[in-house]
Structure 1
Amino acid sequence: MKNTTLCYIEQDGKYLMLLRNKKKADINKNKWIGIGGKFEEGESPEECLLREVKEETGLILEEYRLRGIITFSSEGWGTEYMYLYTASAFSGTLQECAEGELHWIPRKEVIDLNLWEGDKLFLRLLAEDSPMFSMVLRYRGEELIESRTKIYSSMP
């Protein structure tokens, strides 16, 4: 079981997206994703978020918000719990990423990129400014075979 974070950093109506095209053995090969990664031992979700964003982009988040918790499962992958964030303020200078190419993409165009099907579901919730949500995404290989969403009117 893995714990991860993913963040969509926003500026001027665009999201900072990562095209994962540099690693050889990469489950996200040639997919577009937000910024994030795996927890290190003892890290909180926020600590992981801040570290991963700094490592992958050189940016320091100043304003960010937890938007949802996603449970991924698939045969051969195991289970992953992902804490999904958006960020609206940051400092620092964007740097090159060892995992792929970073690009600012207009929010309305992100949905047309080569994304995981489940990512399209939670990106729509972000676009609608949905309250906090939890989502279960089950895959068979790259095929999304089940999705369930619970939207919270207040924190559980």
Structure 2
Amino acid sequence: MLVTTLGYLCHDDKVLMLHRIKKKNDINQDKWIGIGGKLEDGETVLACMKRECKEETGLTWKDPVLRAIITFNFKKNPEDELFSELMCLYTGSEYEGSLADCPEGELVWKTWDEIRELNLWKGDLIFLYYMLQNIPLFYMEVNYLGDKLISATLNEKPVDLDDPRWD
């Protein structure tokens, strides 16, 4: 299982989002996501989050707070082997430096209303909603078949995928 970090810096009621448009063969191609990446050998998840923030944004993140643990399960097609990822989600608002060009896409500060209109993974929209509602540390599982979210749980309880908050 792959272990990754995903972080959302907040500033003046906006969230820093990354439009993934620069990497080839990217599962996140043309999606809007947070910043983050894969853990390196011997690295803690917090150190990974800070390193990825610096590499992708040029910013030094001062106060990342662990907000959620997400298990992401994905199959491109039903007959394919399952790909699983454990994501540690962070939020925070204190940083130093200025935004730099990102090698993976375009960085843009967005309001929640703007985020709802972006091309996001549906599971991301759900966990962002709970993170921005200041729900304490939570666990989610999201299961995808291709781009379609087929099921999700929040703290082991099913999430209603037809809830209008996710439209």
TM-score band (shorter)? Answer: over 0.9
Indicate whether 1:56 and 2:56 are aligned.
yes
Secondary structure of 1:63's aligned partner: coil
Secondary structure of 2:93's aligned partner: strand
Report what 1:115 is aligned to: 120
Which residue identity is paired with 1:25?
N
Which residue identity is paired with 2:151?
E
Indicate whether 1:131 and 2:136 are aligned.
yes
Report what 1:89 is aligned to: 94
TM-aligned CA distance change 1:10 to 1:27, over 3 Å = same
CA distance in 1, matches of 2:140, 2:106: 28
Report what 2:2 is aligned to: 2
CA distance in 2, matches of 1:40, 1:107: 31
CA distance in 2, matches of 1:121, 1:107: 12
For residues 82-137 of structure 1, what are the alpha-carbon distances to aligned partners after superposition, in whole Å with 9 as ceiling and x for unaligned?
00000110001110001000111113321221000100110110121101100000
Indicate whether 1:41 and 2:41 are aligned.
yes
Indicate whether 1:12 and 2:17 are aligned.
no
How many residue pairs match? The answer is: 151
Which residue identity is paired with 2:49?
L
Tell me the CA shift for residue 32 of structure 1. Answer: 0.2
CA distance in 2, matches of 1:54, 1:34: 13
Report what 2:148 is aligned to: 143
Indicate whether 1:102 and 2:104 are aligned.
no
After the TM superposition, which parts of structure 1 deviate over 3 Å for at least 4 consecutive aligned residues?
none
For residues 51-74 of structure 1, what are the alpha-carbon distances to aligned partners after superposition, in whole Å with 9 as ceiling and x for unaligned?
000000000011121000000011
User: % of aligned pairs identical?
Assistant: 48
Contact 1:111 1:123 in 2 (8 A): no
Secondary structure of 1:138's aligned partner: strand
CA RMSD of aligned residues (A): 1.2
TM-aligned CA distance change 1:143 to 1:127, over 3 Å = same
CA distance in 2, matches of 1:107, 1:120: 10
CA distance in 2, matches of 1:77, 1:107: 32
CA distance in 2, matches of 1:127, 1:94: 22
Gaps (5+ residues) in structure 2?
76-80, 157-167
Query: What TM-score results when the alignment is normalised by the length of structure 1?
Result: 0.93
Report what 1:154 is aligned to: none
Tell me the CA shift for residue 77 of structure 1. Answer: 5.4
